[in-house]
Structure 1
């Protein structure tokens, strides 16, 4: 790949353009908002001028509702040898393209893709060249997809240092409804409980509520586009969640009962919900996509000052301990916080002793 055209210079399009440009590809940028394309160009993502001729690959990074029309326009003017989109749904754009009456050759030059990466922020200023590094990038080739186009898409994914995953388009849409779209709505539903909550309650927020509501900070307009393109699978999943919530409410009400048998039944219902949650959580892939590993935490009290985390990591390195994950919970009203250093169980005593020796305050 020597040349590319990125249509849509938001977070995903600009991040892909930055990755391509860093690998020596001449990238042309286009957007319905010329100022956004100029911003992406100023960041080093390419040039906001039109290509002189046909480019190797066109990357369509526009909202799902506009993917098919944008692809069709680019195909009809012969913008590229191959075309991909990066929308978060895949079945609809392919069917929409067919409905627009494009010929077999045009359809063969297209492959739907979806990089499984993003941020709560949007726009070119939020983009980074390493946004996709180590993340799955789904490809949904059709029966007639041209091999050259598939190879161009794989080359793009390699430049972005992502991991290619091949799926059927409709299977992809059901999968992202489960692991992305439905959780996003549930996160928003939980966060919505905080909107009019008493300030004294909100001040008690800890890491648990922060984890659950983090993705609720995403741009609503973008998510309306996403959910409008995949409403059926998301609604089916939310219906299942609603049924589980109804059962959980009944179990909790039973725990309030004066009848001991009802209380026992309610406790059993809650226990089953928690058991199913534990079982599902263990299926979430662990480090590097491998089976999840059980880690234990060493909790360290730190001051909110520059260099504290670097010191802890350096001290852990000197002790020969690999930090598998890290979480920070900031203290309310204090310039301090608790850092949870996640390590394999056998490393806990080694790390604890090493950090205490170097003056760190360990919390149990």
Structure 2
């Protein structure tokens, strides 16, 4: 996974310190609720019916064991409502008043974020400091900005992968974080990227969907979709570029978002997503993006063209780890042992069939662990788990 540099680490810690200052000024009345709201939102702090909710970013789904331990610590030490809040929440459920409201747990979302539902705002700065200690944060997990970039859960190991999407996702993350022009878009903006033949990243449902492809000459580029989305107006994204050279992707996304920022609706949040603009403008939107892209290249000089050296620096973080020598057992013998176990234990056989997937390294397998357990909401995991 990507290794934070000294600059990256300092950036996250400074952001946490900035949030602590904002929180203190709000608590002392020096910052109004209206002024504080967008600041906390762009650090991942919502205020819902009964309690705040924190959304922590896990860019393109990669997380380290040390980070999981800190998430467990936050769940254990901070994710618990005050007695009065818990009582109000229970009473508010009416007939479901006896339903257990999960505490001391984290919720893993479909867009590779982690959410906590019972942390009081008074402790929010302490939590942000704890996250920053392992290079985690909630930057742009909320608000009308470019959100967490997602990709295939099997990125880097899928057998049908054409190009590893993770280095590109990381470069987009760095480019979009605190982008000064796109901090207050008409509505939230989500990007997904895949490098596999099977689109497990569901790119067609995103504001921008990116497919890594190779042309006839073997050159790497992107097939670009725009204007996908779910919700009350489900739309599959429109292809606006069949092939874009890989090093131009951020210049092109800048053109896409810039046109949306200028023409997207701001009078009705239900019609403010880019899918509405693309649907209403059609070819005109595509023409505007191409014109903006040409200006970025010809007049601005393509400021976000990715240098090969920078790509190589980031890509070096995603090489396959060196593994210890595996016992000298023939693959056929190992498979026979598995088959025997699966035949003798029906549940294990089902698990092998449904949860174990091929890996690019034929000596390894990818395993899916489910968050669906009896008595728990799908996606929840307790601090112990």
**TM-score exceeds 0.5:** no
Q: TM-score band (shorter)?
A: under 0.3
Which of the pair is proportionally richer in helix? 1
Greater Rg over alpha carbons, structure: 1
After TM superposition, the score normalised by the length of structure 1 is 0.26
TM-score, length-normalised on structure 2? 0.25
Q: Larger relative contact order (C-alpha < 8 A, sep ≥ 6)? A: 2
